[in-house]
């Protein structure tokens, strides 16, 4: 964990080229170019369909059993795809030794709220219908995908579905009112976002709807009954208070929750794996959490499994 690495990542973001008034297609192409990372050789990737939506299956060579990771990519509900995040998802899957499915949920402005949540819930239900036991199922998501993961858990609970074994969210965007104090206190520290830039994602996603709705901003949701959560964030991000308040809300609602904040790193710093020690440390922690939750669920399901 070196200062030089952190400074290099900060400079990379601050010096990223800015194109004035890009079209939506240009934004999406630029995001794909900036986010894409190489795929590990030991992770097989193929296109599939889940609940009527395109998806990517990512299967590490070390994956065993039927346990599954359902992943939601970030991009402000406007940008991104399973492909833009395939390298990131593969890294998490191989470290956790879990087969992963990354959902291509519908994006705004073509499909505003609650389309993404509807797709997340449908995907979760479809995995259960395929025979994946909830004890063998975990969720993960970064940024808006982190918010979508939490919203999917709330929607699943409200629909009467069993909860999965656990969920990890990286720098989750869970308050579309942009009400966190870090929107102000971290404005100089954040090398990626301004408040206006985040609002530019919220506006097309909400399409005039109330930003405080629990499934749009799950920091305002009743989180009782959700599975154990791991929430990770960096201290140099406008969305820091989203992570902190989500963890606080979960704790108040009797949810087992762990909050980890790494100092002097930005939004979804985990995508800098291989170049930033904190990123690899955070991914390893997330993978251990997911693997432990699945293993604990399997032991509850079959208490004789590990006995001689």
Whether residue 36 is preceded by a cis peptide bond, meaning omega within 30 degrees of 0, is no
Sheet of 53-60: strands edge to edge? 43-50, 53-60, 99-103, 68-72, 137-142, 166-170, 229-234, 257-262
Q: How far apart are CA 91 and CA 176, in angstroms?
A: 29
Catalytic residue among 36, 81, 102, 143: 143
Say how many C-beta atoms besides its own lie within 10 A of residue 42's C-beta.
12
Contact between 90 and 40 under an 8 Å Cβ cutoff? The reply is: yes
Reading the block at residue 20, the tokens are 């004035």
Q: What distances in angstroms separate CA 30 from CA 10, 19, 26, 55, 228, one per listed residue?
A: 19, 10, 6, 21, 35
Q: How far apart are CA 168 and CA 72, in angstroms?
A: 11
Three-state DSSP class for 304?
Answer: coil
Active site residue 81: no
Q: What is the dihedral of CA 87, 35, 284, 236, to 10 degrees?
A: 180
Residues marked active site are found at: 143
């Amino acid at each position: 964990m070196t200062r030089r690495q952190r400074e290099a990542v900060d400079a990379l973001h601050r010096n990223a080229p800015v194109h004035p008034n890009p079209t939506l297609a240009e934004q999406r192409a630029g995001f794909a170019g900036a986010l894409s990372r190489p795929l590990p050789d030991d992770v097989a990737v193929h296109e599939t369909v889940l609940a009527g939506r395109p998806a990517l299956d990512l299967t590490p060579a070390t994956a065993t059993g039927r346990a599954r990771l359902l992943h939601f990519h970030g991009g402000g509900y406007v940008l991104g795809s399973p492909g833009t995040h395939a390298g990131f998802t593969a890294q998490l899957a191989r470290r956790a030794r879990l087969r992963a499915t990354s959902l291509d949920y519908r994006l705004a402005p073509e499909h505003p709220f609650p389309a993404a949540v509807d797709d997340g819930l449908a995907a979760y239900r479809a995995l259960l219908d395929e025979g994946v036991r909830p004890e063998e199922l975990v969720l993960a998501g970064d940024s808006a995908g982190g918010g979508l993961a939490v919203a999917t858990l709330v929607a699943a609970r409200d629909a009467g579905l069993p909860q999965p074994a656990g969920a990890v969210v990286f720098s989750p965007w869970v308050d579309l009112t942009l009400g966190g104090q870090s929107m102000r206190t971290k404005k100089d520290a954040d090398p990626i976002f301004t408040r206006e830039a985040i609002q530019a994602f919220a506006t097309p996603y909400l399409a005039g709807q109330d930003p405080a709705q629990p499934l749009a901003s799950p920091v305002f949701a009743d989180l009782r009954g959700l599975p154990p959560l791991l929430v990770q964030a960096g201290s140099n991000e406008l969305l820091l208070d989203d992570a902190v308040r989500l963890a606080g809300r979960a704790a108040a609602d009797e949810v087992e929750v762990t909050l980890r904040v790494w100092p002097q790193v930005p939004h979804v710093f985990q995508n800098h794996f291989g170049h930033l020690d904190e990123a690899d440390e955070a991914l390893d922690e997330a993978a251990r959490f997911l693997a432990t939750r699945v293993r604990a669920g399997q032991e509850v399901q079959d208490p004789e499994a590990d006995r001689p």
